[in-house]
Structure 1
């Protein structure tokens, strides 16, 4: 079972702090079979929205006030096009695309400009409002799409937030057309920058990130479902952005040059190990 819980306190991999909202401490419990970490205690579902109530939560805002925000949005703009080119090389024609956890709608906005029929899901009200201002109407959940099938489904740094992994994977299988393309991007806790920053690694982002994945995790999670992994790509800029935030959490300042050096070192090591700071998994629905 995916939701086995990993409740044994002896399996604590690392303990870390919520630096963004609550300042609470959480343990990350290790499942040796799945090579996956689970945030403990797992907050009650009703309390989860409260952990997102911060102007510093960057995927729900278009703010460009700080240096980190400016860098984030410049890299994001570049990567939107790169992500769509990855997808377009793997399809014969531009059809329907569903983005789950669409944030402020920038990915779908770019896809729409390139001729895709776009749909999106975003639970955060403020993020949906910003997306609507860009002409992208997002649904609060998947209820509107129960009878639809999509050519492509994307989850850009979303699966780690999902409360019930098993239900989510079953839903993905239902929503995707046969031979459809599923793309999932997540942080990789086996990267060098994760090992270097340890409890200060910003991509742990507890408790908003409920799960923490490795490449081995995905083999277990999607085993037995109608998906076949066909490709794996790195998000090489993530090591720099995550290192900037991690330096801030660790030292109180961004330490720009130090963070960039760690980001470069992480990417260099990953050239031989494939353990990049963030990874994009590509799947085909085989049945």
Structure 2
């Protein structure tokens, strides 16, 4: 029995089951599209992390919130004592986070599979900055900080990816992973309409226990867990649209607010940031 059956509202309108993995306390999108077909599911102007779109009200809200969260992300990486200031941003999209890091004296490298997003990112950075198509193109470099902002849920081979992240991380480096949390109140409320399920682009759906178990296999320990409080509002806006066909701003704001309020006690925020170090 699937945990829930969801629809791809962005591209294909196909249905996908989310099956529960009891070993890692997470959900798996089933069936997973073949790796060579995954690109098709990102071919949409609605996939906002690959564009700088400001067409709809939701786009504009996303872009305004993004400016605020970029500064919060910069504060986070600056809070860690690192050997030097070399950072790898995996899934860098159109390069906004790399741009703010670059302007604050970080040596930046990015990874972005999507060609159009990669081109936009390259334009924003200086000529010496490198942006690769795939994380496995990086073999002999190591970084003080590696960030994955809503990326891990997209990765076809989790085990290989986590092993590669460990190889690229300096012994005293920090790995920062941000992912949606299917145990949040907004996820439980919207169920199959929860926008952060985003099938089949999101292949995996994590709980806090999932992240701890998956990374502990490679001796990477969660040292800090932080909320992404704006995500509950943005995700609820999209979820309302999927559920009712309308944005329903007041209802979405209420659900987002309730999700954060309940998470003050449960710690189950809509999205969570995990800071990991080698144990």
1:30-85 deviations in Å (ceiling 9; x for gaps): 01231100000011111100000000001001010100000001111100010110
**Further displaced range: 208-217 or 133-142:** 133-142
Alignment check: 8 A CA contact 1:176 1:285 kept: no
CA–CA distance in structure 1, aligned partners of residues 57 and 83 of structure 2: 39
**Counterpart in 2 of 1:201?**
194
Match of 1:34 among 24, 27, 30: 24
1:270 has 2:263 as partner:
yes
- Report Cα offsets for 1:191-225 as digits up to 9, x if no partner: 00000001000000000000000001112211221
Partner of 1:150 in structure 2?
Answer: 143
C-alpha distance in 2 between matches for 1:92 and 1:48: 36
Structure 2 residue aligned with 1:248: 241
Match for residue 132 of structure 2 among 131, 139, 150: 139
Query: 3-state DSSP class of the match of 1:26?
Result: strand
> Equivalent of 1:230, from 216, 220, 223?
223
Give the alignment of 1:26-175 within 5 angstroms. Answer: 26-92=16-82, 95-135=85-125, 137-175=130-168
1:143 Cα offset (Å): 4.2
Question: What are the Cα deviations for residues 6-39 of structure 1, in whole angstroms up to 9, with x where unaligned?
Answer: xxxx3x1000100000000000000123110000
* Distance in 2 (alpha carbons) for counterparts of 1:100 and 1:133: 17
Which residue in the other structure is 1:219 paired with? Answer: 212
Instruction: Provide runs of 4+ in structure 1 moved above 6 Å.
Output: none
Aligned mates of 1:254, 1:124 — CA distance in 2: 28
Displacement after TM superposition at 1:280 (Å): 0.3
> Which TM-score applies when normalising by structure 2?
0.97
Structure 2 spans left out of the alignment, 5+ residues? none
User: Displacement of 1:92 after TM fit?
Assistant: 4.5
2:91 touches 2:148 (CA, 8 Å); kept in 1? Answer: yes
TM-superposed deviation, 1:132 = 1.6
Native 8 Å contact 2:82 2:172 kept in 1 = no
Is residue 269 of structure 2 the alignment partner of residue 280 of structure 1? no
Q: Relative to 1, partners in 2 of residues 1:285 and 1:162: Cα closer, same or farther, differing over 3 Å?
A: same
Asked whether the equivalents of residues 237 and 249 of structure 2 are also in contact (C-alpha less than 8 Å), the reply is: yes
User: Which piece of structure 1 moves more, 271-280 or 124-133?
Assistant: 124-133
**What secondary structure sits across from 2:3 in the alignment?**
strand
Give the alignment's Cα RMSD to 1 decimal: 1.1
Going from structure 1 to structure 2, the CA distance change for 1:146 and 1:275 (only over 3 Å counts) comes to same
Residue in 2 aligned with 1:4?
A: none
- The superposition leaves residues 208-266 of structure 1 with CA deviations (integer Å, 9 ceiling, x where unpaired) of 00000000111221122131111000000000000000000001110001000000000
CA contact (8 A) 1:182 1:285 kept: no
Give the 3-state SS of the residue equivalent to 2:29 in structure 1: strand
Give the deviation of 1:137 after TM superposition. Answer: 4.3
Unaligned runs of 5+ in 1: 1-9
